[in-house]
Structure 1
Amino acid sequence: MAEEIQSWPLNPSRLNHRSDEENPVFNNIRKERSNKCFVYVFTAIVLQSIFILVFALVVLRPKSPSVKLRSVTVKSLRYTTSPLPSLNATLVAEISIKNPNFGSFKFENSAVSFLYEGKQINGKKTVKGNVSARETKRFNVSVEVRSSRLSEKQNLVNDLNSGIVKLSSLARIVGKVHLIKILKTKKTKEMNCTMSINLKNRTIKDLLCN
């Protein structure tokens, strides 16, 4: 007797059906993974920015530059005691600026003044420039000194007759330290000096700064 062979209908394989509509669980998993990935990347960026900022403020803490008046040279000199006392001179000051920071120091609208008995005797003189990181740079500043800017000249007569005219100078350097291209910190440095002009040999002596 022939054996009866029973056939069974094949069920469609569920592994072949991967649509999002039929598999909402997979769709939700993808969304959760995508959201977590965005959160991780955003958190990493924020932490990196905080680390850079803290590193710049603590480790690379901006410092004020060091300013020195290295020398003053008398380029030209004219003076007289009669009929009215007068002193006209061109002074060339050599100033050095040391930048101790790991970023450049850019300064502008900085001023150099010369004074006689506390009164400014030169016109407004501004200087600007840039000092690279960990560098010392020298600048020459030419200043015109005129006693005509003084209202009281009695003491000037005595100084001219003695051959020694005492002056003081003030340099105020204002600029910004640039760190990692995003952090800019304003720094100001002042320097006060005293000196004497020897009228006979046209030289500067007793130059002292603090």
Structure 2
Amino acid sequence: MIINAEHQRDVINQAGFDMLRLCNSQIDKAKEAFVTHDSDLAEEVIHKENRVNALDLKIEKDCEKFLALYNPVANDLRFIMAIRKINFDLERIADHAYGISRYVVDEDKKIAPHLLKTLQFDLMYDTITSMFEDITQAYEEKNVKIVRKVFKKDKILDKINSNSFSLLETEIIKDTSITGQALILFSVIKKFERVGDLLKNVAEEIIFYTEAEIVKHKKKK
């Protein structure tokens, strides 16, 4: 039974890693589709949402089966609890990729490059990419030191998001014709900020099952 439990844990762990890579890919493609207004790439993201949902259900069912069959305790229990939460947050990240891609399909106009530059869109995306890289390495290596970098990087996203409204307001005053684009970009910035929050949640869960440390809601010193 111990061997079977270990094997099943490995299967769940690999499925969680596959979910992480899939959702990372969805965000990458959604961003590229949004910036270039590539409707074909956006459609690919939209259609691949079915694969995300299927993997989400598989991980949830495998976790439930593990709990029922092996009655895990200590590290194994923390692992299953964390994977379920990580899976939930990753699925929500994929939902944001889907939402961004829908803008590309539903709208017929590309976002003006100067708006993207004004709102530091590239910096926001590069920060998300770096956060994904940290989490991917930490997930593979169970490296808590690496995953803690995510928290500082999330503050960059928070700052860009908090500045976005006033910056766009200024741009709209200068040229009211860009109002529609500005509203869409504002929504995408919000989605990216939320992706950062979800990645931070994933980082917290990696710390939880690796070191049995609860980071969430911890007071700042």
Whether TM exceeds 0.5 here: the answer is no
Higher helix share: 2
Could you say which structure has the larger radius of gyration? 1
Please state which band the TM-score falls in when normalised by the shorter chain: under 0.3
Higher strand share: 1
TM-score, normalized by length of structure 1? 0.22
TM-score, normalized by length of structure 2? 0.22
